[in-house]
Structure 1
Amino acid sequence: MSSYADIAAKGPKQTPEEAAAPQPPQVEYSESASTSSLIDVDTPSVRTVPSDFAEQEVQTETQAARIDREDEAKERAEKIRAEAEFAKKQARRKARKADTWLTKKFEGLGDGASGALAAVNVLALVGLSGFLGYRAWGLYDHGRLSWKHVGLGLGVLGAVGAVEGVFARYLYKAKKDQ
């Protein structure tokens, strides 16, 4: 195998002008060049910074804009926090008002009415439990009782128990005040 140099040596010879490197571009000197566009450092148009520049809290316009944005964000957050606090107070006030109303209604019940209400609550819970037990037994008898059905029944019993617990608490609270 031949090298590139061997193959190039067999070809036509270059003229001295072709073999020479290209000439670098020449700069033309003229004495009429204007220096009016150059800035003189002694004129007041050159910006200088004060000697306490490094100690200044805000040094650039970008930094000042960032500080302004942060301050606006803090103000918005404070406003949102105040609105949320006001909404919480309103909700507490409404809950307390409903609590007081319900307690007054139960206070108005006589001993016989409150006893009847407690008996109805117990009977309702026993009746619901009996119905759910009967349905569960029917599903078990047909082989279709699953954990999903058991969980659903327990969830219904838990929800009813929670509602009755709330009403029982108000009934107890109303009777305690008398």
Structure 2
Amino acid sequence: MSYAEVASKGPKQTPEEAAAPQPPQIVTDESVSSSSIIDVDGPGVRTVPADFMEQDIKTETQADRIEFEKREKAAKKKAEDLAAKAKAEADLAKKKGKAKARKADDWLTKSFADLGEGGRGAVAAANFVAVVGLSGWLGFKAWGLYDRGRLSWKDIGLGVGILSAVGVMESVLANYISKANKKDHEQ
């Protein structure tokens, strides 16, 4: 059975009961005084000047934002100035370093040139003997470790590192000997 069927079997409503409730009525009472109403001409109401729309800055928030942007621009400018100064100092240090390196390079080249052909040949021969001797000694030590079963990758890496360092020094030395030979032949 549905709700509609159950409701139709009961007693009928009166027209007052079936009607929607009445909306509340506003009671006009003359006892309310006009003193409780805000006076728009008084100091409690904020007003804007007549030239409000012509002003560049209209609100405190806008003034704060403009001030923040000014500070931000000043900080950015200061950071750019500091970066430019640091770059200039780095460039100057780089130039000084290059000048010192060139001076040391020139001194070494001059020293090898002063040795003469025989001296340079002796230095090259001593360099060759040192490289061959060091390589032979490292090979002998590695063979001994291998024979005893104690040769490890760490030992191999150490030997390769030593030979690499000696190779770099040999190439630097050969470079200066070559420069000295060129300088002799130019004169």
TM-score range, shorter chain: 0.7 to 0.9
What is aligned with 2:45? 38
Opposite residue 31 of structure 1, the aligned amino acid is S
Corresponding residue number in structure 2 for 1:177: 183
| 2:97 pairs with 1:91 | yes
**Which residues in structure 2 correspond to 1:26-175 (within 5 Å)?**
31=35, 35-42=42-49, 49-50=55-56, 60-175=66-181
Residues 55-106 of structure 1: CA deviation (Å, up to 9, x unaligned): xxxx711111111111111111111111111111111011000000000000
Percent identity at matched positions? 47
> Deviation of residue 43 (structure 1)?
6.3
- State the match for 2:11 in structure 1: none
1:30 is displaced (CA, Å) by 6.1
Q: Tell me, which stretches of 5 or more residues in structure 1 are unaligned?
A: 1-27, 52-58
Question: What is the TM-score of this pair, normalised by structure 2?
Answer: 0.69
Change beyond 3 A, Cα 1:107–1:43: same
**Displacement over 6 Å in runs of 4+:** none
SS in structure 1 at match of 2:150: coil
Deviations 1:15-50 (A, max 9, x none): xxxxxxxxxxxxx86628662233343467x68524
Count of aligned positions: 143
